[in-house]
């Protein structure tokens, strides 16, 4: 007797499910242990990652506490205790904290008059490829400042050139690098180059007043009227600031008409 279409569809579905069960049973019998092992391995790996991440966070917290403790000891005039704490941090594997500790140690050496020791410490930071380039640049500027009286002017100019020639005018290290370079040019008798750099520094809007005043004086001594340049820039900014409201008022008037 022929099956109805409904019975035929039901039979095909049962056969299809039976085939699927057979395939699953076959796969499980053949590879069941491997599947269980893979799942367990994945769970262990995930658990290990979470534990590692937890330990990393704990370690960062410990390093932060150690750094704060070292700085507190410095404020309390306990240099030996601070030095011991900073040395432990500097010997660690966290590049950021290691760099901060080395820079602080360098500052302490410089305060004692040991410029050579200070330069050697920040040189480690400047050469550390694991930290942010901005921090390396800062360390390089500090190293050069510490070594300024002992290295050749040509070395200073070459070392600071990438920072002085940087395309970004808002570079935070341009002013310091340019002043070191200007000093080197002055020592070499290259007064035009030194004056031009001092003039560029003097025109920067957001620099320490002491550096700005020093740059204006040095530029003037070398024949660059940085005072007039700053006055011209300020006047241009004022004119621009006054022109903007007038232009807006004129545009609004035209809309009303």
For 153-187, the pLDDT digits (tens) are 999 999 999 999 876 656 788 999 999 999 999 99
Contacts by 123-130 with C-beta closer than 8 Å and gap 24+? 125/99, 128/95, 128/98, 128/99, 130/95
Of 47-51, 104-108, 116-120, 229-233, the least confident: 229-233
pLDDT digits (tens, 9 = 90+) for 23-69: 666 655 665 565 555 555 565 565 555 544 545 555 556 666 666 67
Q: Give pTM, 2 decimals.
A: 0.63
The ranges assigned to domains in the chain are 66-151, 152-241
What is the per-residue pLDDT across 186-217, written as a single tens digit (0 to 9) for each?
999 999 999 999 999 998 888 889 999 999 99
Q: What's the pLDDT score for residue 243?
A: 42
Statement: residue 228 has pLDDT above 60: no
pLDDT tens digit sequence for 218-227? 999 998 887 7
pLDDT of the residue at 173: 86
């Amino acid at each position: 007797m022929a099956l109805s279409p409904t019975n035929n569809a039901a039979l095909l579905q049962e056969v299809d499910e039976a085939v699927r069960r057979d395939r699953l049973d076959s796969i499980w019998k053949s590879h069941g242990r491997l599947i269980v092992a893979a799942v367990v391995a994945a769970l262990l790996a995930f658990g290990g990652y979470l534990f590692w991440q937890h330990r990393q966070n704990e370690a960062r917290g410990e390093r932060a506490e150690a750094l704060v403790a070292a700085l507190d000891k410095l404020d309390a005039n306990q240099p030996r205790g601070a030095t011991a704490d900073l040395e432990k941090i500097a010997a660690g594997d966290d590049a950021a904290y290691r760099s901060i500790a080395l820079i602080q140690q360098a500052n302490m050496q410089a305060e004692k008059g040991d410029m050579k020791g200070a330069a050697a410490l920040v040189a480690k930071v400047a050469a550390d490829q694991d930290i942010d380039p901005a921090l390396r640049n800062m360390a390089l500027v500090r190293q050069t400042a510490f070594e300024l009286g002992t290295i050749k002017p040509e070395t200073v100019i070459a070392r600071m050139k990438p920072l002085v020639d940087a395309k970004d005018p808002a570079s935070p290290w341009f002013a310091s690098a340019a002043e070191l370079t200007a000093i080197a040019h002055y020592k070499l008798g290259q007064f035009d180059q030194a004056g031009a750099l001092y003039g560029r520094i003097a025109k920067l809007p957001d620099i320490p007043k002491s550096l700005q005043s020093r740059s204006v004086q040095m530029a003037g001594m070398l024949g660059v009227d940085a005072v007039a340049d700053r006055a011209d820039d300020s006047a241009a900014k004022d004119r621009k600031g006054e022109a903007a409201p007038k232009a807006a008022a004129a545009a609004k008037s035209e809309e009303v008409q």
